[in-house]
Amino acid sequence: MSIEEKNNEETNGNELSGDVGGEETERRPAWRPQDADREYFRYETRRRVQQYSVPPQTIFKPAKPAPTIRDSEHKRVAVYARVSTKSNEQVSSIENQTKYYTEKISKTPNWEMQGIYSDEGKSGTSKKWRPEFRRMLEDAASKKMDLIVCASVSRFARNISDLIEEVRKLKTTNPSNPVGVYFETEDLYTLDPNINERLQMQGLFAEWESGNKSRRMILSYDQRICTGQFPLSDLLGLRHTIDGQFTIVEDEAVTVRYIFLATLCGKSPEEIAEVLTEKQRPTLRGRTEWNAAMVKAIMENERRWGDLDVRKRIVVDYKEKVTTKNEGIRKGAYVPGYHEGIVTSQIAKAAQSMRSSRYQFEGVPDVYVIDSGALKGFVSVSPSWNGIDNESFQEISRQVYADDEFAALQKEADILNGKAHSNVLSMTLNDYRVAPGVMFMSRSDSQLTIAPRSLRLNGVCHDKLGYGRFIEVLYHPIMEVIAIRNCDETSPNAILWDEANKKPLQLCTSAFSTAVYEKLEWMRKYKFRFRGVTRVRDGEKIIFFFLDEPQILVGKDKKRLDENDTSESRAKFIPYKEGTTDEDENGVVSPIAYPENWRDHFGVSYEIKRKRERIINEVSSSDISYLGTRVINPFIGEIPSQEQLEAEVEELYMSM
């Protein structure tokens, strides 16, 4: 009985059994075994196979044998060689590879040399860093070769994605002329369809080895840093020695010295680059065309002045060669005075300050301190000059005082600045308070505004000083006072302000502002405005700004006065020093505010005011006009005079 007949019999049996149950049973579906269809299809498949037969006229076409590296077809063969460093051993390796494969191809009857592509000193982790590798792939796409021979998978690529992608492209870009790659060490031929799994496995091994090599290099650097065996490299003007030191190459050092000293003489990086190009001065790699970026790079390398910063930058992605500044990510070291520098650290620091200053100076600004008279202790320095800091200001000012005199001055300053109480006999005067003048400041007053990176004098200051063409800024870091006065063009720190109207003067004062903010512990998110007090003595004029009476400029991005604020005064009193918050008890601040300690005892002591008036009233015309004494800037240290620097720059120029 066939399967179909058997199924029909079973179906009829089910229908008969349904009659017993009546009409409801007749509506039920016929029951079928679960494997009925499967058995049926198996039966049909066997029947069809038994019926098939090969037609006698059929002509079979056999497939070509799987391609191998040893077949007899003519092949145009290219060779790819790569080494990851430019050491003598690796150069020898790449030369040996070239010689070996040239001879091998010439001795193989059906092989023809198409070309040798070699990347020297290139990593195999990414194809974009290997120009010869990319050129070879372009030639392969242009059907210039049939076969590429490479010593090993790791020489071809240490990145498995690059390996698989490029092998696939070589095979499929021109299907009628696929290009195979033969890796001799692993005996793998990429056109062989049976080696895909082996190729991927070798690619994984190569990528793992590349990552392992990167980890070994990191560990090696860690060990060398901890043991003082710092990794060194050659620089223009310096060569590293086998014992871990540097020697100066005098001819190249001329270029380096010229860059630093010319900067101190006021030349810009662009001007210096133009001179070096004109003189055809070679770089370390022999390049004679210079640009400003190259000049800046030489000035920024600490090894030029004798220090050693180890591991300044690190590789965070060894495949893509992504680097970043090493800010504690891995071990590092800084060794001051590690070797003899081409220039001194003082010259290097002065040159860096010159370059970082927004204003281009004709030479290194001199620092003067007034050593006598009513303005004793005031420091004169160009506020746009970056070669100064808070500690330097205080050290310069302090050196003109005897120890006991300075102690008395410091006590007086603490009283005037509200940091200490005055032990006056009259408690009435001490308790009597006067509102700070800044509370009543108007547009007709002279105003000084200090921001974290700038200083601004309004046009009224120019008016008060008589519209002189040049002014000078003085700063007393102990008394916390800034003063401006007229000066002539010959003054070392003269600032040009020759507008014949009331235009304000805006100066870039990054270092100066930082010093003031640090001394007074101001929050850098605020600006501070001060009202000037003018004194005129026999035609000589000076304006004082006392930094303990600020108007705080909160900024437009802060909340305005809150609608729920029920205080009668529009004045807001907020914390303004580091380590405090900027909100009052209502959680809001005003665009203009005043120190929080003025809230409870509005104003300053009358006795303090009286002492301050006495100090500024003692100023004479000779005090105002006195230049002061030139001193060494402790932030930089001692450097040659401007005349000496200019003479040496001229000598270096003539010797190049």
- For the stretch 217-269, pLDDT in tens is 878 777 877 877 888 889 999 999 888 889 999 999 999 999 999 999 999 99
- The CATH number of the domain covering residues in 238-356: 3.90.1750.20
- Please give the pLDDT value at position 510: 92
Model pLDDT, residue 426: 42
Query: For residue 26, how many other CB atoms are within 10 A of its CB?
Result: 10
Structure tokens at 60: 């079979």
Q: Determine the Cα–Cα distance for residues 456 and 497; give it in Å rounded to an integer.
A: 12
Task: Give how far the C-alpha of residue 327 lies from the chain's centroid of Cα atoms, to the nearest Å.
Answer: 10
Would you call 451 exposed, middle or buried from its count of C-beta atoms within 10 A (0-12, 13-18, 19+)? middle
pLDDT value at position 540?
A: 93
CA distance 208 to 214: 10
Give domain limits for the chain: 3-50, 75-208, 238-356, 368-631
User: Would you list the DSSP string of 4-43?
Assistant: HHHHHHHHHHHHHHHHHT-HHHHTSPPP--TTHHHHHHHH
Q: Count CA atoms within 13 Å of residue 563 on its CB side.
A: 0
Determine the pLDDT at residue 607: 57
Q: Domain 75-208 is classified in which CATH homologous superfamily?
A: Resolvase, N-terminal catalytic domain (3.40.50.1390)
What distances in angstroms separate CA 598 from CA 136, 258, 463, 564, 602, one per listed residue? 77, 55, 31, 22, 5
For residue 608, what pLDDT is reported?
A: 57
Low-confidence ranges of the chain (pLDDT < 50): 1-4, 6-7, 9-25, 424-431, 557-570, 580-589
Helix or strand holding residue 285 (H, E): none
